[in-house]
Structure 1
Amino acid sequence: MPKPTSLTDKVVTVCFAPGEDADWFAASEKVNDLLHANGTPARRYRVRHRRLIGWLTRFLGYYLLDAARRFGAVTLAAGGRKSRLDLTGTTAQAARAAGLRWRAWNTHINATTRPARPWEDYLAQHHADPGKVTLNEARRRFEQQPRVLAMLAASFDPYELSVYQAGEATYVGLHWRIALIGDALITTEGRLLAPDSDSVADRFRFLNEACAYLRGLRSSARLCAVAIA
């Protein structure tokens, strides 16, 4: 994902230092200043409930942004104080879902079709000689492969082929990081972190850096996930 012009239909995590104004309007301003885009809150985070008073915090939306409720209890939020967000639960849920997807792919696609060349290979052909291999031609060549056709027929995202073929640990590792970070991150200092390209390797490098940054934030720091349309 090139930065920052193609950050559309993506999720950006905005970080705020403790004590800094951290409402939805402040998050929107940061996104607009750095990406020249508008967005909406993205309810991505599970909410943490303390053990001793969990019955009470379950119904309170303090220190949360755009909280969602189920039967009156707070379940998800677009952000809030780091200590109120269940980041571990968020990543665990994403990891479980990704593991189920990969195992289904392994059973129905990997076991029945031959390995295929990933989209990145055909995209490189297009970039190397756009006159000879147009973007539509590159996509046609990629999608005519039997494994890719099988993925399309079974509703698996064929543009994740390289990650699927890299194995379950890689596929799950990518998706729990995406659940936590999204596609870009704005630090408390106003610095934009994003992948240098669409390659899986660059996405992992970015996500590892962003995850380390998020872990280093104090529990009183605040986060807000913004979906850019």
Structure 2
Amino acid sequence: MPKHTPLTDQVVTVCFAPGEDADWFSASEKVNDLLNVNGTPARRYHVRHRRFIGWITRFLDYYLVDTARRFGAITKAAGGRKGRLDLNSGAATAATQARLRWHAWNQYMNSTPNTRREARTWEDFQAIHRTDPAKLSLTEARRRFEQQPRIVAMLAYSGAHDFNPYELAIYQAGEHAYAGLHWRIAIVGDLLITAEGKLLKPASDTIADRMRFFNEAIKYLRSLKPSARLCAVTIS
């Protein structure tokens, strides 16, 4: 599979009801029940350490799921009690990285005349394909999308950042929108299963529908008490 493709692994954030087992195996069972796929734990959450006793808690994995350590200290986890997961830190880091990436992309796109003009997005070609698959196959839609000068330039870039051409719509929407998408991804992942067993997902692959989903999912996560349990699971 090419490095950049619209088909990638996804992260599902699973929320547990009070009293439920809250390990990654239980999370995978919930994912399998709703999506009929198997998953593995995704160590994507920063872990919060208490201000005055953090030197102790940084070595203790209570209320955490599948932790990663550096020099014995816990750095990240696949989940755990919401109060122990530093969601804000993860979001801030993702936003900073996204802003740096967007500025590099913007400078690169403005470096030559043939890449300054906005290109048609992948969503545009998908819409044409879905309207008349016989007229435009998915393979041909992808070929036409990727042959645009701006997309060729993104694929050819070999600098410090990684430009995903299938994110073109949000790149072209501007720095604030691009950073906003990525800090939301850092908190939510791609899908969310509520403690009540409801699957929240975007209505479509468009940026607008994804942003609506993220806003709904983040509103739900913010409504949970610090004692609530979460777990991130990667699916293919």
Q: Is TM (by shorter chain) over 0.5?
A: yes
Q: Which runs of 4+ in 1 moved over 6 A?
A: none
The SS at the match of 1:78 is strand
Give the length in aligned residue pairs. 224
Match of 1:174 in 2: 181
- TM-superposed deviation, 1:110: 4.0
In 2, Cα distance between the equivalents of 1:111 and 1:204? 30
State TM-score, norm by structure 2. 0.92
The runs of 5 or more residues in structure 1 that have no matched partner are 1-5
What SS does the aligned partner of 2:123 have? helix
- Give the aligned residue type for 2:127: A
Matched with 1:82 is 82
- The more displaced of 162-171 and 8-17 is 8-17
Question: What is the CA distance between 1:36 and its match in structure 2?
Answer: 0.8
1:228 aligns with 2:235: yes
**Is residue 64 of structure 1 aligned with residue 61 of structure 2?**
no
Q: 2:151 aligns with which of 129, 148, 152?
A: 148
In the alignment, structure 1 residue 164 sits paired with structure 2 residue 171: yes
- 2:129 aligned with 1:126: yes
Q: State the one-letter code of the partner of 2:48.
A: R
Q: How far apart in 2 are the matches of 1:164 and 1:8?
A: 19
Structure 2 Cα separation of the partners of residues 20 and 132 of structure 1: 51
Matches within 5 A, 1:1-229: 9-112=9-112, 113=115, 114-154=117-157, 155-229=162-236
Aligned CA RMSD, in angstroms, stands at 1.4
Using the size of structure 1 for normalisation, the TM-score is 0.95
Of 16-25 and 96-105, the range deviating more from structure 2: 16-25
Q: Distance in 1 between matches of 2:110 and 2:26?
A: 46
Q: Aligned AA for 1:180?
A: I
Question: Structure 2: any 5+ residue segments left out of the alignment?
Answer: 1-5
Shift in Å, 1:86: 0.4
Equivalent residue of 1:150, what SS?
helix
How big is the shift at 1:184?
Answer: 0.4
| 2:3 match | none
* Cα distance in 1 between the residues matched to 2:136 and 2:37: 32
CA distance in 2, matches of 1:159, 1:14: 26
1:82 maps to amino acid: K
Local SS of the residue matching 1:62? coil
